[in-house]
C-alpha cells in the first residue's frame, strides 16, 4: 500500500551567541511565512500571542461555509476554531500545509481527529479553562428553576404581574446529582455544598469526592435520589442518548434536569413529555442535537422538529450553548490554545494533543549547530531502526518517541551539524517508507 507523504521543513534562525548556556528559543526561520487562520471570534488573548510570534494571523468573527473554508485552509499552517466550524475529512484533505488545529473550546467532536492524525496534524483544545464558568451557570439555573424565575421574568416583560409561591423552593437542603465528576462536575459540587445542598455523583471511574459529596454506584440510583440532575459527560458512543424515556421516568417526581454537556446526551421528546405531564417541574438546556451555525433567528422547527413543543413548556431555561461564554473563560482558552499552537509550530511539543502522541524534549541549550528533528510516521515495525541508522553518523543529544494507534511521533535533538547535514537528514528521513510529515527546527 502506498503511503501518502506530506513533508514540511520549518527552518529556524540561529540565536545570537552568549557567554553562558541558555535555553534556545526555537522559532521559524521567517515567522512571517507562517499563516494562521482563526475563525469564530477567537479571544484577543490568543490572537495577540500568535501575532507576537510574527505569524501572519487572519481572524474572522464567524464560521465559514465549507467551500470557502476549503479555499482558505489550503494555504495556512494552523487554524483555530470554536464549536461551529466542521473540519471534516473532506476539508482536512485539502489542507496541504496544515500543521496544527487549535480548538478554542472544550470539545473536539467538530474535528475528524483520525483524518487529522493521518496527515500529521496535531489537534489541541482547552478542556478545563471554562470549568468555573460552566459551574456558575449551573448554580444560577438551579436557583432560577427552583424559583421559576424564567417564567416570572417573561410574564412581567409581557405586563403580567404574577406573584406566586406555589412550587417555588429554596435550594438549601435539596439534593444535587452530578453525572460526570470531572473538572466541571467537581467544581459544581463544591459550589452546591456551599449553598447547603447535598451532593451525589456518578462516574464511570472511582474518584475522590470533594467536600462531603458521595459517589453512587449506578446512574439509576443517582436519578432516583436527586432533586436536581446535572449532566457533565463528554460525547461518546456510551453517552449518546444516555438520558431517555426510561431514565427520565426514574427521576423523582417534581425534580429538574440540567444539561450543559453535549446536545446528544438527552433525548428531547421524552423530556418534553415529562415536562408536559408534570413529572419534571423544570429543565435547563444549554446544548442541542443540532445548533445554528451563526447567531440569528435560526432556532426553530427546521433545526429540530420538536423546538416549538419545547418552547411551549413551562419553567424551561433555554440558552444558546453559553456555558463557557465568559470573558474570563475565553481569555484563558485563548492563552492555553494559543500557547499550544506556538509550542507545536516552533518546538514540536505535542503535550496536550488529543489525537497525537504526546511528547516533548527539554529545551535545546544555546548553540548554533543543534537542530531538532520532528518525524511523524505510521507505526510500523523497523522504522525507528531505519531512522537511527540515518542519524548514526551524528551526535544525537536526546531522543524521544511515542505512538498512539497507527500514528507515531519522534523528536530528536542533533548537535554539530552544518547546512549540508541538515539538508541530507531532512531528505533521507522524509523519504522513509512510513513518513507522514518531517520537520526540522533549529
Specify whether 262 is catalytic. Answer: yes
Widest CA span in the chain:
85
Specify whether 291 is catalytic. Answer: yes
Specify whether 321 is catalytic. Answer: yes
Q: How far apart are CA 191 and CA 193, in angstroms?
A: 6
Q: How far apart are CA 428 and CA 55, in angstroms?
A: 29
Q: Can you spell out the DSSP letters for 232-243?
A: -----TTTTT-B
Q: How many CB atoms lie within 10 A of CB 62?
A: 13
| Catalytic residue of the set 119, 132, 262, 372 | 262
Burial of 251 (0-12, 13-18, 19+ CB in 10 A): buried
H/E stretch holding 440: strand 435-441
| Catalytic residue of the set 51, 114, 155, 291 | 291
| Catalytic residue of the set 232, 321, 372, 439 | 321
**Integer distance in angstroms from the first to the last C-alpha of the chain?**
34
Sheet with 78-81: strands ordered across: 56-59, 35-38, 78-81, 100-103, 122-124
Q: How far apart are CA 294 and CA 223, in angstroms?
A: 35
Residues marked active site are found at 262, 291, 321
Amino acid at each position: 500500500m502506498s503511503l501518502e507523504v506530506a513533508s514540511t521543513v520549518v527552518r529556524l534562525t540561529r540565536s545570537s551567541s552568549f557567554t553562558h548556556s541558555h535555553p534556545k528559543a526555537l522559532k521559524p526561520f521567517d515567522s512571517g511565512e507562517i499563516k494562521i487562520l482563526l475563525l469564530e471570534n477567537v479571544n484577543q488573548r490568543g490572537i495577540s500571542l500568535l501575532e507576537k510570534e510574527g505569524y501572519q494571523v487572519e481572524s474572522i468573527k464567524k464560521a465559514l461555509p465549507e467551500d470557502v473554508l476549503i479555499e482558505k485552509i489550503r494555504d495556512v499552517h494552523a487554524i483555530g476554531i470554536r464549536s461551529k466550524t466542521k473540519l471534516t475529512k473532506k476539508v482536512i484533505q485539502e489542507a496541504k500545509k496544515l500543521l496544527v488545529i487549535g480548538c478554542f473550546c472544550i470539545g473536539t467532536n467538530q474535528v475528524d481527529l483520525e483524518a487529522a492524525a493521518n496527515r500529521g496534524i496535531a489537534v489541541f483544545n482547552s478542556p478545563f479553562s471554562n470549568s468555573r464558568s460552566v459551574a456558575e451557570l449551573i448554580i444560577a439555573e438551579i436557583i432560577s428553576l427552583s424559583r421559576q424565575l424564567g417564567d416570572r421574568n417573561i410574564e412581567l416583560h409581557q405586563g403580567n404581574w404574577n406573584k406566586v409561591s406555589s412550587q417555588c423552593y429554596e435550594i438549601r437542603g435539596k439534593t444535587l446529582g452530578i453525572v460526570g465528576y470531572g473538572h466541571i462536575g467537581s467544581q459544581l459540587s463544591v459550589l452546591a455544598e456551599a449553598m447547603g445542598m447535598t451532593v451525589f455523583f456518578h462516574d464511570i471511574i472511582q474518584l475522590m469526592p470533594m467536600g462531603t459529596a458521595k459517589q453512587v454506584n449506578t446512574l439509576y440510583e443517582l436519578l432516583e435520589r436527586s432533586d436536581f440532575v446535572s449532566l457533565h459527560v463528554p460525547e461518546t458512543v456510551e453517552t449518546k442518548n444516555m438520558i431517555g424515556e426510561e431514565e427520565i421516568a426514574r427521576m423523582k417526581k417534581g425534580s429538574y434536569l440540567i444539561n450543559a454537556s453535549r446536545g446528544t446526551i438527552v433525548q428531547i421528546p421524552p423530556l418534553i413529555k415529562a415536562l408536559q405531564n408534570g413529572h419534571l417541574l423544570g429543565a435547563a438546556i444549554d446544548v442541542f442535537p443540532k445548533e445554528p451555525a451563526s447567531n440569528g433567528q435560526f432556532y426553530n422547527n427546521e433545526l429540530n422538529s420538536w423546538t416549538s413543543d419545547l418552547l411551549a413548556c413551562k419553567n424551561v431555561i433555554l440558552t444558546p450553548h453559553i456555558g463557557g461564554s465568559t470573558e474570563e473563560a475565553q481569555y484563558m482558552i485563548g492563552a492555553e490554545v494559543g500557547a499550544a499552537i506556538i509550542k507545536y509550530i516552533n518546538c514540536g511539543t505535542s503535550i496536550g494533543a488529543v489525537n497525537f502522541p504526546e511528547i516533548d524534549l527539554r529545551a535545546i541549550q544555546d548553540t548554533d549547530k543543534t537542530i531538532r528533528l520532528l518525524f511523524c510516521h505510521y507505526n510500523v515495525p523497523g522504522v525507528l531502526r531505519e531512522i537511527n541508522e540515518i542519524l548514526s553518523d551524528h551526535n544525537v543529544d536526546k531522543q524521544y518517541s511515542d505512538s498512539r494507534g497507527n500514528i507515531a511521533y519522534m523528536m530528536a535533538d542533533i548537535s554539530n551539524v552544518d547546512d549540508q547535514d541538515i539538508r541530507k537528514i531532512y531528505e533521507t528521513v522524509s523519504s522513509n517508507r512510513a513518513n507522514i510529515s518531517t520537520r526540522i527546527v533549529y
